[in-house]
Copies of this chain bind each other. A is one copy, B any other.
Amino acid sequence: MTKKPLARPRPMYLEMAQQLAAEIKNGDYQAGDLLPFDGDLADTYGVSKHTVRSAIAELRSMGLVYTQQGKGTLVRDQGGAAPAVTIDRSVQRSGKAWRLSDLPEHEPPAVTRTTLEGRVAALLGQPDQDAISVDRLLSDPATGVRAAHRMLIPLATAAEVPSLAEVPDVPPSDLLKQLSEAGKTLTFKEHVTARAPYPDERITLGLTDSSPLLISYRITAETRDGEEHPLLCEELRAPASCELVFAVAAAKAATQRTPRRSASA
Contacts and interface: CB of A to CB of B under 8 A. Distances in A.
Interface string A44-85: 000000000000001001110000000000000001111101
Nearest to A86: B262
A6 interface: no
Given A142-B263, A188-B247, A195-B240, 5 more contacts: A17-B199, A18-B199, A188-B248, A190-B245, A193-B240
Contacts of A265: 88, 101
Which residue, A17, A62, A264, has most C-beta atoms of chain B within 10 A? A264
A196 B262 contact: no
Nearest to A189: B247
A208 to B, nearest CB: 13
Given A80-B119, A244-B193, A198 B253 contact: no
**Secondary structure class of chain A's binding surface, majority of residues:** mixed
A5 to B, nearest CB: 14
Given A10-B199, A198-B21, A212-B196, A248 B251 contact: no
A14 interface: yes
A226 interface: no
Copies of this subunit? 2
Contacts of A264: 85-87, 103-104, 140-143
A153 to B, nearest CB: 19
Given A62-B196, A188-B250, A81 B243 contact: no
Contacts of A85: 262-264
Contacts of A83: 119, 193
Nearest to A118: B80
Interface string A192-220: 11111111100000000011111010100
A94 B143 CA distance: 43
